[in-house]
Copies of this chain bind each other. A is one copy, B any other.
Amino acid sequence: MWKRNSVKLPHLASRKQRTTRDGHTMGTISKALSLLNYFSDSVPEIGLVEFEKLTGQNKATVHRHLRELEASGYLEQNDRTKKYRLGAAVLRLASVREQTFPVRKIVEESVDRLALQVRELVHASLIHSHAKSYVMSPICFRDYGKNGTRVYFSEAEILPVHATASGLAALAFGVPSILETTLTNKLERYTDATVVDKDALIDMVSATRRRGFSQTDQSYEAEVCSVAVPFYEDGDFATGSIAIALPASRMNKKAKSRFVTALWQTAQAISMELGGSVPGHVRQIWKSAA
């Protein structure tokens, strides 16, 4: 064995196009910010090499991005382990957002009331842009169910729009670009029941619009059924949704209609409290079905 040639080779045509895993091109800012998305309840700390593997990007690039995020307070590095975790700056931003637009606070009360009423997991999520597409970010959840079986839920988890009831509500009642961008991306499969066909998804969205609520049957997690309705903050397009999720074994027609009626009432209340209102054409569907 001999040492590698210590003469630096000239830069050949080796530079890759700046792309993500899925082939999307993106700017430096988006690339750096996407690093933050790898943190979750189960992955609270990430090291440099780990990031390199997760992102598929060059180590030097990742390192520079981590350092810049750290300098701005969005990351903190553990001096001992050298691993990175989310920094204190994110706490401040969330605080400002919640102080000035207290969506969580407002939604929380209604979710709580609803959860006490239906005795199943109730959660609310906001629609937001996320790396060339859209996702649902849970902002609160309650489960006052007294049953043995419970649906696991984490506020730190991002919900895909095409596989969850929450997301379908967003696709059907949110701004058109949500559906548009979703249809340009590959639909990831989570279970056997996940709809990954685009035409099938369009049909589900149409059905959701007709019904006035969305429903999924084990399309994201096995054994979990869910129904959801949109809420409105401003304008004629939904900004979030409330959902009820429960074990498939407890879902039936009667229960579903009870859930949907309760969701409609809650969504109307939330929309009002957020300073918005359910648009006429949606309200009509809700009224005539209730």
Question: Are B235 and A79 interface neighbours, CB within 8 A?
Answer: yes
A65 contacts the other chain (CB 8 A): yes
Please give the count of copies of this chain that the complex contains. 2
A88 contacts the other chain (CB 8 A): yes
With most chain B CB atoms within 10 A of its CB, the pick from A36, A73, A130, A132 is A73
A156 contacts the other chain (CB 8 A): yes
Q: How far is the CA of A91 from the CA of B239 in the complex (A)?
A: 15
Chain B residues whose CB sits within 8 angstroms of the CB of A78 once the complex forms: 234
Of residues 127 through 174 on chain A, the ones whose CB sits less than 8 Å from some CB of chain B are 127-132, 135, 137-139, 154-156, 158
A193 contacts the other chain (CB 8 A): no
Report which of B72, B97, B101, B128 forms a contact with A130, defined as CB distance below 8 A: B72
A141 to chain B, nearest CB (A): 11
A95 to chain B, nearest CB (A): 5
Q: How far is the CA of A73 from the CA of B39 in the complex (A)?
A: 15
Question: Are B90 and A129 interface neighbours, CB within 8 A?
Answer: no
Contact with B along A207-244 (1 / 0, CB 8 A): 00000000000000000000000000011000000000
Interface size class of A (residues with CB under 8 A): 35 or more
Q: How far is the CA of A29 from the CA of B80 in the complex (A)?
A: 26
Question: Are B80 and A91 interface neighbours, CB within 8 A?
Answer: no
Report which of B68, B73, B132 forms a contact with A29, defined as CB distance below 8 A: B68
A85 contacts the other chain (CB 8 A): yes
Q: How far is the CA of A28 from the CA of B27 in the complex (A)?
A: 10
**5 A-B pairs closest in CB distance:** A94-B94, A44-B100, A86-B97, A90-B93, A88-B126
Given contacts A90-B93, A91-B97, 6 further A-B contacts (CB under 8 A): A29-B69, A33-B69, A41-B100, A70-B129, A76-B128, A94-B94
